[in-house]
Amino acid sequence: MMENGNVWTFDKIAECAGAIRENMGRVIIGKQDVIKLVIAGLFAGGHILLEDTPGTGKTMLAKSLARSIDAEFGRIQFTPDLLPLDLTGQNVYHQKEEQFVFVPGPVFCNVLLADEINRATPRTQSSLLECMEEKQVTVDGETRVLERPFFLIATQNPIETAGTYPLPEAQLDRFCMQLKMGFPTVMEELDIMDRFIQDSPLERLEPVCTAAEIVQAQEGCRHIYVDESADLDMAVNIIFNAKTQRIGVCNACESLVVHEKVEKALMPLLKAKLDEKSVEIRGDEQVQESVSGIVPAVESDWGKEYLDYILSVKTVSSIDEAIAHINRYNTGHSEAIITRDYANAQKFLEEVDAAAVYVNASTRFTDGFEFGFGAEIGISTQKLHARGPMGLTALTTTKYIIYGNGQVR
């Protein structure tokens, strides 16, 4: 990741993750592998599902994480009679003021523990979908954005346990990892008794970073470049898919770069399509002149990860300018070019610095399952992975090159 004041370098992220892990280790005995994966899920902007029996330390893990990043902690005990509004909040009539007042639910926090989530009905479980995916809550037609970071740790009892409901597939898809805490060993139980016999170390736990720093570490930006030879209908379809199919994921398009020769023809078509999803477009002066309803872009928009229905648009005069712009503001994740020019496609593939580079396809395909790897715990944008003795292969890196002809996910 770049370090440009808003986005952290990998070394800084690793340092922060190590500090959080060490801090949580003052409370949680053992379970270092679980702690590492939970922290990885936090930095990846995902959510965690823990399947285990009561008393294995799930609540303590969530609380220690929240204290370590100086974040607000919330907890919901799921029961069969729990209703969706009990989670999201609701409008309550205030008799003295003679108006409805919104009372926020427990989801309005940074780290939320959804305890025994599969004891509630599927309807109540599904009320978390919008929170998990789009980091927002809609009640009575009004949408309220959740404060970032929003990190959900859900626990569920084994499905064979009486009184449980299986989680819907759409819900399971929102979790980036499913983990088990496991029972402590005999020696770990003795350490727990010794550590907690007088008071709780959780009460003495001090934060090692802030919630705002976690948000900075999560930042990332994916671009699509529309070349002067691009098929404009294909470009509109790919951009629409990459931006709107799922806005809260790490492979969604956040910024568009357009060659000046096709900008005037593309923008009216693209805006009409994006208006179907009420996408806000933030553009430079040339884009503002080409179509109405454009919000003026500022410098920070070129490298910002919105995770929202917002897209920045930058006009360039050449493919060299496009590549320079992308390499300056991207985070090494996924970049795409829409073009009919073979030479420009090869130049883009070779010179853009990213883990996955696409020709005429949506960035939404950067996914372990889509690449045929099975389950995925995250996407690396780093180039050097080795520790210990290193041979020649340890000095190489992987860059995925994807050719398409208009594919969307």
Domains and CATH numbers, the chain: 10-216 (3.40.50.300), 220-407 (3.40.309.10)
Residue type at position 321: E
CA distance 276 to 270: 10
Mean pLDDT by 10 residues, the chain (409 residues): 48 82 89 87 85 80 90 90 91 87 91 89 87 86 87 81 76 82 84 80 88 75 88 95 86 93 95 94 94 92 86 95 91 91 94 92 86 65 64 78 92
Sign (positive/negative) of CA torsion 96, 105, 137, 210? positive
* Residue 179, strand partner residues: 50
CA distance 217 to 330: 14
List, in order, residues 6 or more apart from 313 with CB less than 8 Å away: 255, 256, 257, 258, 267, 281, 282, 283, 284, 287, 294, 297
Q: Is 282 left (phi over 0), alpha (psi -120 to 50) or beta?
A: beta
pLDDT of residue 382: 60
pTM exceeding the 0.85 threshold for the entire prediction: no
Q: Enter the DSSP assignment of 209.
A: S
pLDDT of residue 232: 95
CA distance 55 to 115: 12
- Phi, psi dihedrals of residue 343, rounded to the nearest 5°: -65, -40
pLDDT of residue 3: 44
Find where tokens 């919901």 sit.
76
pLDDT of residue 132: 87
pLDDT of residue 310: 93
pLDDT of residue 363: 93
* 203 CB burial (10 A radius; 0-12, 13-18, 19+): exposed
